[in-house]
Amino acid sequence: MTTRRSFLRATAGAGAGAALGILPATRLRGAPAVHLRRVTPVCIASGNGLTAVTRAMEVIHEEGDTLDAVLQGVTIVERDPEDTSVGYGGLPNLEGVVQLDSSIMHGPTRGAGAVASLEGIKAPSLVARDVMRYTDHVFLVGPGAQRFARSMGHPIEDLLTEEARRRWVEWRARLSDQDYFLTPEQTLHHLPDFCSGAGQGEGLLDSHDGMRPHGTIHCNVVNESGDLSGVTTTSGMAWKIPGRVGDSPIIGAGLYVDNDVGACGSTGRGEAVIKTVGSHAVVELMRGGMHPKDACLEALRRIVRFTIEPRLRDERGLPNFSVNYYAVNKKGEYAGAAIWAGARFAVSVDGDTRPEDSAYLFQPDR
């Protein structure tokens, strides 16, 4: 299929100008030469966003709106019970209740919306969009956010899947040897069908034993005209204190979009991102002329400097957690970067969707 961009590119011919998305001078009779700038659209997301960027780019190629594109992408993941870090199937708080956070920003209209500690809605990003579209506010939380969502027609559903509940029960049992919660091994009642569904006992604890599993999806996009939008959505840190809000729904922390400059979002330890207003910092660094990769790495260095608590540092004095930024600028340059090596992010550009390695500050000791 010939897209408008590929047609424009073909007419521009291959060369440095085409590679930069700069079309040759179009001369109307008697008019001065006009240089039209076109951007190569690109959509990026956290590593769990390959399906999201694929869907978002389909919307962009159908000339859809940038916010619609990223929302159509991330809602696939929000509704997927297999992804335990986002939406339906997300891991619950310490009381076993799934509480979701999300924010959205629409570059062309400078719109923003967000929800936090939202219970019972599979796709909180769509409620964040409704906050932007149907209220004079930016941020709704808790029961008020849920009542608003219900009024907008979002069904209230049970978000705790059997798998998420099983992992929560296991975590609760290992909380302390001073409480009355016990594992089946301790009660000697290690029977195969203690939980319904998949056999419990084996494999209940994942590689996060001792650490709190977390995860999020962030997705942002720039289209051919240089318009930008972004969304971040999460169930936050597993086993969190009820009411805990991370960076994801906080405009400037887990997401920031300035249609004149670029977009950025984050995943990882939200507390560190909030304290450094991470995504806004990245966009401001890009405004100052930095490439997205350098801007992300500089914002990550600020987190390292802010991390002085011994409990959050390893033997080398470095953060014992990671944070990832995903940034795209108005020219279509993009990057993912993390504190620690090994992270990947999802990219869709030029008809190709792939994971790419994130830039990083540190490599773990071998």
C-alpha closest to that of 79 among 54, 58, 104, 51? 51
Q: Tell me the C-alpha distance between 295 and 327, whole Å.
A: 8
Q: Is 216 among the residues known to form the active site?
A: yes
Closest approach, Cβ 275 to ligand ASP, in A, equals 12
The answer to whether 236 contacts ligand ASP (rule: CB under 6 A) is yes
Closest approach, Cβ 125 to ligand ASP, in A, equals 14
Distances (CA, A) of 70 to 16, 65, 273, 312, 337: 30, 9, 22, 33, 20
The answer to whether 92 contacts ligand ASP (rule: CB under 6 A) is no
The answer to whether 247 contacts ligand ASP (rule: CB under 6 A) is yes
Closest approach, Cβ 99 to ligand ASP, in A, equals 10
Strand, helix or coil for residue 99: coil
The answer to whether 248 contacts ligand ASP (rule: CB under 6 A) is yes
Number of residues in contact with ligand ASP under rule CB under 6 A: 13
| Residue from 216, 233, 276, 353 carrying the catalytic annotation | 216
**Closer to ligand ASP by Cβ: residue 255 or 295:** 255
Among 270, 278, 332, 336, binds ligand ASP (CB under 6 A): 270
The answer to whether 267 contacts ligand ASP (rule: CB under 6 A) is yes
Phi, psi values for residue 315, rounded to 5°:
-60, -30
The string of DSSP letters for 257-316 reads EETTTEEEEEEE-HHHHHHTTHHHHHHHHHHTT--HHHHHHHHHHHHHHH---GGGB-TT
The answer to whether 47 contacts ligand ASP (rule: CB under 6 A) is no
Q: Strand 100-106 vs strand 228-234: parallel, antiparallel, or unpaired?
A: antiparallel
Strand order in the sheet with 359-362: 255-258, 262-268, 323-329, 334-340, 359-362
Closest approach, Cβ 60 to ligand ASP, in A, equals 25
Closest approach, Cβ 296 to ligand ASP, in A, equals 15
Q: Tell me the C-alpha distance between 58 and 63, whole Å.
A: 9
Residues 193-222, interacting with ligand ASP (CB under 6 A): 214-216
The answer to whether 319 contacts ligand ASP (rule: CB under 6 A) is no
The answer to whether 307 contacts ligand ASP (rule: CB under 6 A) is no
Pair 256, 248: CB distance under 8 Å: no
Which residues are the active-site residues?
216
Q: Which residues bind ligand ASP (CB under 6 A)?
A: 214-216, 234, 236-237, 246-248, 267-270
